[in-house]
């Protein structure tokens, strides 16, 4: 433990892991203020600037790689403060933040949120980065409603989640856009300001399409562009200039490698699923969404490889769960027998680790689960989920996605969209 | 202009381009099969399958070839040969059942089956299922 004397106007950079107690004085950390007696933690891998607002002393307990260094000047531009004031004074309620990957969108969101919360308002943060979620588990959109200052977005519990079932919106565009609409509509009734933190997907057909749709749906009162040059200008050509605010990307914004991204994502996932319990849910009681499974009528197929089958709507034909894939001859016989053109085959066992959302009767997501198996003999789905037994009793709908995650939160690949 | 809302049209174009580009149809089919194999490993990311496709045919020098590699050997004045390398020495390469003098080769293309591991290693998952 060290005691650090601090003087007004000094700036420090603190690298975690470290536990800090303010013995005396007043400090500001990413816009959140801490006075005498207050404590905060900086975890491993995180760095925060500490701005001294009043003289005093800090008590710091460092972990193995933790350290503190003096900075010559403030790293957060004055422009950010002016912007926070503008948002508050002009009541710009819906703020959309755009930027490529690694432009510091989450840090900026945290800072602006804290500055707004200081005015005793409620701030909603809608985290749309399904591949690098801070709010809610990976593969979901997360909404946090905040009325107290905070240091890290990832420490904010999700008040609502919307399941996408993929780490990229790419092949799940309709769910993605629907989720943004639903959570935005909900958030504006519960918060004074809503900040929408987005993915870094801003180029190419998909990136342009998604960002345009976001602007159309959210109708933001202000769009903040965090850009290095002019890489986002194509997205706002038709937006009124008064509704755009341009900020340069901080030189402190660091590049995160593919491997680090996965590791960070898995940390969130492991943390989310760490207290998972095994549950069984009756196939007769459960309803499904975003799947062919349980959307048709159970059917008996005369082939020993078929464990379970359903007749789907019209030309969709038959969905068959098979122990091994049917041969072309077997398929032809079954198609003829049941007068269909199409038989979808799903190999049983492939559902293992498939991540699903568990919804109540009002279609609100209670949490996520990872499937262990479809047990057609006992007509049940066995899955693992961190939600409480009481909440599990409320589950009436299972929403399917494409990601696989094992029971301790590790990524296990995907199933092909549309295969189930 | 309207946007393509998935990367599938790009993947189809790549397959079409592959079939047109290579006159040796066995090699072209092997490349297309490799594109499909990679896509099946990452069905959520047809764009990444497309990125991998771009590096599946690699021009190599004879010293970079070993037994078991699948190669397309372009020859001066003769039809190209595609197959698995059985043996290679400093002056001769055996592709399938054909012995080819290295001095007669114009170029050698190797079919790279590790593109996903090389380009996007975080999409390699344990095969526990």
Q: Where are the domains of chain A?
A: 2-71, 78-271, 275-420
Burial A334-356 (b: 16+ CB within 10 A, else e): beeeeebeebbbbebebbbbbbb
List CB contacts (< 8 A) between B42 and chain A. Answer: 414
The per-residue pLDDT for B26 is: 95
Q: How far is CA A254 from CA A47, A103, A105, A185, A249, in A?
A: 11, 8, 11, 33, 10
Round to whole Å and give the CA distance between A318 and A301. 10
Contacts of B125 by beta carbon, 8 Å cutoff, 6+ apart = A404, A411, A412, A413
A–B: how many Cβ contacts below 8 A? Answer: 58
Q: Report the residue of A203, A414, A420 to disrupt the B interface, i.e. the one with the largest count of B CBs within 10 Å.
A: A414
The answer to whether A257 faces chain B, any CB pair under 8 Å, is no
User: Encoding tokens for residue A5?
Assistant: 């004397």
CB contact under 8 A, B129 and A412: yes
| Owner of token pair 């933040």 | A97
Closest by CA to A105, choosing from A233, A263, A223, is: A223
| Helix axis angle, B46-53 to B8-21, nearest 10° | 20
Return the residue of B nearest to A168 by Cα.
B44
What tokens were used for A335? 């198609």
How big is the CA angle at A49 (ends A43 and A54), to the nearest 5 degrees? 115
The pair of three-digit structure tokens given for residue A353, joined into one six-digit string:
């680790």
Token pair belonging to A249: 């990307």
Please confirm whether the linkage preceding A79 is cis (ω < 30° from 0): no
Q: Do B125 and A206 touch (CB under 8 A)?
A: no
Q: How many domains does one find in chain B?
A: 1
Token pair for residue A390? Answer: 């009481």
A168 touches chain B (CB under 8 A): yes
Could you give the CA distance from residue A231 to residue B13 in angstroms, rounded to a whole number? 27
Q: 3-state DSSP call for residue B92?
A: strand
Give the rounded distance of the alpha carbon of A181 from its chain centre: 15
Q: B45 and A168: CB-CB below 8 Å?
A: yes
Answer whether residue B100 is part of any domain.
yes
Q: What is the per-residue pLDDT for B90? A: 87
How confident is the model at residue B128, as a pLDDT? 64
In a domain, B54, yes or no: yes
User: CA A30, CA A76: separation in Å to the nearest integer?
Assistant: 8
Token pair for A1? 């433990």
Which residues in chain B land under pLDDT 70?
A: 1, 128-129
Which tokens is A246 given? Answer: 């341009």
Residue B3 has a pLDDT of 87
Measured CA to CA, the distance from residue A263 to residue A256 in angstroms comes to: 11
Q: Is A213 on the interface with B (CB under 8 A)?
A: no
Q: Per-residue pLDDT tens for A42-90?
A: 988 888 999 999 999 999 999 988 999 999 998 899 999 999 999 999 9
Length of chain A: 420
Closest CA to A56 of A14, A16, A9: A9
Range of the domain at B75: 8-118
Query: Considering the domain boundaries, does residue B101 fall inside one?
Result: yes
Cα A318 from Cα A289, distance rounded (Å):
17
User: Domain A78-271 in CATH: superfamily?
Assistant: P-loop containing nucleotide triphosphate hydrolases (3.40.50.300)
Cβ–Cβ gap A209/B5 under 8 Å: yes
pLDDT of residue B1: 61
C-alpha span between A201 and B89 (Å, rounded): 49
Tens of pLDDT along chain A (420 residues)?
899 999 999 999 999 999 999 999 999 999 999 999 999 999 888 889 999 999 999 999 999 889 999 999 988 999 999 999 999 999 999 999 999 999 999 999 999 999 999 999 999 999 999 999 999 999 999 999 999 999 999 989 999 999 999 999 999 999 999 999 999 999 999 999 999 999 999 999 999 999 999 999 999 999 999 999 999 999 999 999 999 999 999 877 777 888 888 988 999 999 999 999 999 999 999 999 999 999 999 999 999 999 999 999 999 999 999 999 999 999 999 999 999 999 999 999 999 999 999 999 999 999 999 999 999 999 999 999 999 999 999 999 999 999 999 999 999 999 999 999
The CATH number for B83's domain is: 2.30.30
Which among A117, A109, A172, A178 is positioned nearest to A139, based on CA atoms? A172
Fold (topology level) of A2-71: Jelly Rolls (2.60.120)
Task: Based on DSSP, count helices (H) and strands (E) in chain B, helices before strands.
Answer: 4, 6
pLDDT given at position B77: 84
Q: Which chain B residues are within 8 Å of A415, Cβ to Cβ?
A: 43
HEC letters along chain A: CEEEEECCCCEEEEECCEEEEEEEEEEEECCEEEECCCEEEECCCCEEEEEEEEEEEEEEEECCCCEEEEECCCCCCHHHHHHHHHHHHCCCCEEEEEECCCCCHHHHHHHHHHHHHCCCCCEEEEECCCCCCCCCCCCEEEEEEECCCCCCHHHCCCCEEEECCCCCCCCCHHHHHHHHHHHHHHHHHHCCEEEEECCCCCCHHHHHHHHHHHHHHHCCCEEEEEECCCCCHHHCCCCCHHHEEEEECCCCCCCCCHHHHHHHHHHHHHHHHCCCEEEEEECCCCEEECCCCCCCEEECCCCCCEEEEEECCHHHCEEEEECCCCCHHHHHHHHHHHCCCCEEEEECCCCCCEEEEEECCCCCEEEEEEEEEEECCCCEEEEEECCCHHHHHCCCEEEEEEEEECCCCCEEEECCCCCC
Q: Which pLDDT value is given to residue A258?
A: 87
Output DSSP code: residue B12: H
Supply the Cα-derived Rg of chain A in whole angstroms: 25
Q: What is the CA radius of gyration of chain B?
A: 17
Beta carbons of A208 and B3 less than 8 Å apart: yes
């Amino acid at each position: 433990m060290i005691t650090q004397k601090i003087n007004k106007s000094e700036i420090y950079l603190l690298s975690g892991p470290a536990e800090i107690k303010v013995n005396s004085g007043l400090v500001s950390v990413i816009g959140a203020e801490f006075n005498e007696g207050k404590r905060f933690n900086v975890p491993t891998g995180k760095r925060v600037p500490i701005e001294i607002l009043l003289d005093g002393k800090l008590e710091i307990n460092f972990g193995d790689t933790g350290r503190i260094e003096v900075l010559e000047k403030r790293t957060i531009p004055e422009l950010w403060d002016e912007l926070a004031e503008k948002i508050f004074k002009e009541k710009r309620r819906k703020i959309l933040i755009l930027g490529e990957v690694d432009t510091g969108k989450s840090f900026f969101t945290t800072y602006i949120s804290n500055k707004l919360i200081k005015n005793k308002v409620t701030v909603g943060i809608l985290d749309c980065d399904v591949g690098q979620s801070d709010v809610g588990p990976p593969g979901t959109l997360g909404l946090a409603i905040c009325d107290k200052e905070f240091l890290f977005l990832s420490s904010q519990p999700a008040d609502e989640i919307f399941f996408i079932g993929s780490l990229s919106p790419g092949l799940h565009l309709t769910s993605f856009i629907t989720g943004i609409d639903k959570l935005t509509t909900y958030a504006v009734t519960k918060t004074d300001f809503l900040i929408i933190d987005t993915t870094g997907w801003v180029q190419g057909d998909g990136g342009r399409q998604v960002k345009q749709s976001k602007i159309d749906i959210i109708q933001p009162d202000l769009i903040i562009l965090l850009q290095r040059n002019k890489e986002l200008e194509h997205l706002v050509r038709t937006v009124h200039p008064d509704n755009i605010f341009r900020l340069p990307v901080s030189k402190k914004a660091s590049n995160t490698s593919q491997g680090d991204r996965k590791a960070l994502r898995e940390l969130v996932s492991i943390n989310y699923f760490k207290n998972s319990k095994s549950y069984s849910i009756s196939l007769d009681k459960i309803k499904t969404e975003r799947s062919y499974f349980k959307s048709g009528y159970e059917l008996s197929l005369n082939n020993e490889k078929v464990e379970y089958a359903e007749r789907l709507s019209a030309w969709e034909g038959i969905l068959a769960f098979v122990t091994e894939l049917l041969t072309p001859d077997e398929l032809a016989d079954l198609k003829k027998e049941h007068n269909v053109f199409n038989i979808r085959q799903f190999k049983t066992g492939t559902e293992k680790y498939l991540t699903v959302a568990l919804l109540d009767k009002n279609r609100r997501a209670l949490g996520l689960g990872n499937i262990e198996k479809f047990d057609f003999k006992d007509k049940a789905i066995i899955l693992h989920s961190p939600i409480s037994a009481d909440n599990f009793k409320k589950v009436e709908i299972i929403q399917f996605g494409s990601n696989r995650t094992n029971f301790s939160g590790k990524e296990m690949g995907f199933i092909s969209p549309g295969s189930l | 202009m309207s946007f393509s809302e998935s990367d599938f049209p790009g993947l189809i174009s790549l397959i079409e381009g592959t079939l047109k580009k290579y006159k040796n149809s066995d090699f072209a089919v092997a490349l297309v099969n490799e594109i499909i194999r990679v896509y099946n490993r990452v069905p959520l990311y047809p764009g990444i399958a497309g990125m991998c496709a771009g590096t599946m045919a690699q021009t190599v020098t004879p010293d970079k070839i070993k037994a078991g590699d699948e190669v397309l050997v372009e020859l001066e004045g003769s039809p190209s040969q595609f197959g698995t390398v059985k043996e290679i020495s400093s002056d001769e390469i055996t592709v399938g059942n054909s012995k080819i003098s290295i001095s007669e080769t114009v170029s050698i293309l190797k079919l790279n089956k590790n593109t996903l591991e090389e380009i996007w290693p975080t999409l390699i998952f344990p095969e526990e299922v």
